[in-house]
Amino acid sequence: MGYNILVVDDSLAMRSVIKKSVKASGFKVKQFFDAANGKEALNILKQEWFDLVLTDFNMPEMNGLELVAAMKKDDLLRTIPVVMISTEGSRLRIEDFFKKGVAGFIKKPFEPEEIRQNLNRIMGEPDDEQQFSEDSAEGLDF
Amino acid sequence: MNNNSLKIALKDSTFEVLEKMFFLTAEFARINNLNEFFQLPGSKIAAAKINFSGSVRGSLFVFLPQTLALSITADFLGDDPENISKEKIIETVKEILNMIAGGAFSKYDNSKIFNLDIPEMVNYDGVEKDGSNSGKEILLGVKTIEESLALRMDLMAEK
């Protein structure tokens, strides 16, 4: 059993690295989906069932916070946890993310352990460091 | 504005990004002039720029030989250099700059919000000419086990 995760970032390279890092972290993944910005993400969110959204903040067309605001207005999407993965790490910015309904924050650059700890906390999963060591070799081949 | 604090924050952020995301150990390198530092034709150097605003505003540039851009993209994506497209190199260079900028400003002043624009690729030779007019700039040379890269922050006057 794993989670359906939507990864939203305008960089294809970064989406690939995020997916690889999540998998290497040992967090349970069923399937990944991709979107290049908030607008594209909203369309995909309406077509599939998602357990979690990992999004960049700074993107063209619709940024990460605008995506969260749009999801909060939609009865079917408002309960999906959104994790912001961003380079912008000022205290005020992070406080603003949480005030606006973001469930977690991961600062780039990140390490797989930080991802696993955050995602397990948000999804109410026990955090077991063994997950990383057992799954990381497989994950790195993603 | 404290230029020295900003330079230290930029250095720390650069080292953190290179080490955490690219597994590259880096050290400071002396740099007075970009052309002298690289000793390569401008056409062989990849350059990207990100504009920022907040309590300081201006632009941050990253410059690196295209050969280094290719090898770090391959490492970043866990792929063979032969499979790396120009688009992936561009995205990786822009992402390096984005991460370095975000990290530098949160290390410089974590209590203030800095706005970062979307990074863009620029022409190295064009940047050289523009840079001479910027007035205040921070230039940082970084030596890695492979090749060297450089960062330049052009600072605009405070409001």
- Domain borders along chain A are 39-111
Band the pLDDT of A1: cuts 50, 70, 90. Answer: confident
Count of Cβ atoms closer than 10 Å to residue A54 Cβ = 25
pLDDT tens, position by position, A31-41 = 999 999 999 99
Determine contact, residues A80/A44, Cβ cutoff 8 Å.
no
What is the structure's pLDDT at A137? 47
Kindly report the CA angle at A12 between A10 and A16, in degrees rounded to 5?
125
Q: Does A76 touch chain B (CB under 8 A)?
A: no
Q: Tell whether the model's pLDDT for residue A142 goes beyond 50.
A: no
CB neighbour list of residue B99: distance below 8 Å, 6 or more residues apart: A87, A108, A109, B13, B17, B21
Nearest to A54 by CA among A92, A128, A106: A106
pLDDT class of A120 with cuts at 50, 70, 90: very high
Residues of B with CB under 8 A from a CB of A: 16-17, 20-21, 73, 76-78, 87-88, 91-92, 94-95, 98-99, 101-103, 105-106, 109-114, 116, 118
CATH class of A39-111: alpha beta
- Alpha-carbon span A140 to A127, nearest angstrom: 20
Domain count, chain B: 1
Instruction: Identify which of A13, A89, A142 has the shortest CB distance to residue B91.
Output: A13
B48-100 pLDDT tens trace:
999 999 988 999 999 999 999 999 999 888 889 999 999 999 999 999 999 99
Quote ipTM for the complex. Answer: 0.81
Does residue B117 have a pLDDT over 70?
Answer: yes
CATH number for the domain spanning B70: value is 3.40.1550.10
* Chain A CB contacts of B113 below 8 Å: 88, 90, 92-93, 96
A window 106-125, beta carbon within 8 A of B: 107-111
The per-residue pLDDT for range A47-90, each reduced to its tens digit, is 999 999 999 999 999 999 999 999 999 999 999 999 999 998 88
Q: Is the pLDDT of residue B146 over 90?
A: no
**How much of chain A, in percent, has pLDDT values that exceed 90?**
76
In angstroms, the CA B96 to CA A79 distance is: 33
* Six token digits for residue A124: 């109410």
Q: Once rounded to an integer, what is the mean pLDDT over residues B107-113?
A: 89
Residue type, A132: F
At A141 the pLDDT is 41
Can you give the pLDDT at residue B145?
87
SS3 B105: helix
Among the listed ranges B25-29, B135-139, B151-155, which one has the minimum average pLDDT value?
A: B135-139
Choose among B17, B77, B116: nearest Cβ to A109. B17
Model pLDDT for residues B10-42, shown as the tens digit of each residue: 999 999 999 988 888 889 888 988 988 998 888
**Does the beta carbon of A100 lie under 8 angstroms from any beta carbon of chain B?**
no
The answer to whether residue A136 scores a pLDDT higher than 70 is: no
Give the span between the Cα atoms of A7 and A23, in whole angstroms.
Answer: 13
More confident residue, B3 or A71: A71
Q: Tell me the range of A132-136, B59-63, B73-77, B127-131 where mean pLDDT is highest.
A: B59-63
Burial A17-52 (b: 16+ CB within 10 A, else e): bbbbbbbbbbbbbeebbbbbbbbbbbeebeeeebbb
| A95 CB-near residues (< 8 Å, 6+ apart) | none
Amino acid letter for position A133: S
Residue A2 touches partner B, C-beta closer than 8 Å: no
CA–CA distances in Å: residue A86 to residues A55, A89, A138, B50, B54: 8, 7, 26, 15, 17
Annotate B114-155 with three-state secondary structure: CEECCCEEECHHHHHHHHCCCCEEEEEEEEECCCEEEEEEEE
Residue B130: the pLDDT is 55
For the cut 60, the answer to whether the pLDDT of residue B129 exceeds it is no
Provide the residue range defining the domain that includes B137: 3-155
For residue B58, list its beta bridge partners: B52, B155
